[in-house]
Amino acid sequence: MFLKLVFSILYFNLNEFIMKFDELIENVTQWADDKNILKPENSTKQMLKVMEEVGETAGALAKDDRVELKDGIGDSFVTLIILAQQCGFTPSECLEAAWDEIKDRTGKTTNGIFVKN
């Protein structure tokens, strides 16, 4: 009975997290659509925004600025969600494709960097 209760709580929390993440993706997509950003012809400009946000994230990491780091990671997510939509993909499709590519990789971590075989 105890394990069933624990499983139910974990399952509920996971579903709540998934729903929250999906809702955030929908919010970002709607915001971008409202701002007229989702047009496919904007994708090259959007890629520049991705690079800008990733660069700001790198700067925050180098300065050990946790507040700006969190903001930069979030901004990077936002720009990538929009880029995926502009290119006709869902963020989930892109993440699943990446996962399918890396899930069975072998290799080792050297100096903090994973080097695949």
Q: What is the mean pLDDT of residues 37-47?
A: 98
Q: Residue 39 falls within a domain, yes or no?
A: yes
Residue 48: which domain range?
2-102
Q: What is the mean pLDDT of residues 36-62?
A: 97
Q: Residue 92 falls within a domain, yes or no?
A: yes
The amino acid that residue 24 corresponds to is L
Q: Pick 6 or 112 by higher pLDDT.
A: 112
Phi then psi dihedrals of residue 107, to 5 deg: 160, -160
Phi then psi dihedrals of residue 2, to 5 deg: -60, -45
Residue 59 has pLDDT above 60, yes or no: yes
- What is the spatial distance between Cα 4 and Cα 44, in angstroms, rounded to a whole number? 50
- CATH code: domain of residue 90: 1.10.287.1080
Residue 26 has pLDDT above 70, yes or no: yes
Q: Residue 117 falls within a domain, yes or no?
A: no
Q: Residue 116 falls within a domain, yes or no?
A: no
Q: Tokens in use for 50? A: 């991705």
Q: Residue 113 falls within a domain, yes or no?
A: no
Instruction: Say how many domains are in the chain.
Output: 1
Q: Is 36 left (phi over 0), alpha (psi -120 to 50) or beta?
A: left
Q: How confident is the model at residue 21 (pLDDT cuts 50, 70, 90)?
A: confident
Q: What is the mean pLDDT of residues 45-63?
A: 97
pTM: 0.82
Phi then psi dihedrals of residue 111, to 5 deg: 50, 40
Q: Pick 9 or 24 by higher pLDDT.
A: 24
Q: What is the mean pLDDT of residues 61-82?
A: 97
Q: Residue 109 falls within a domain, yes or no?
A: no
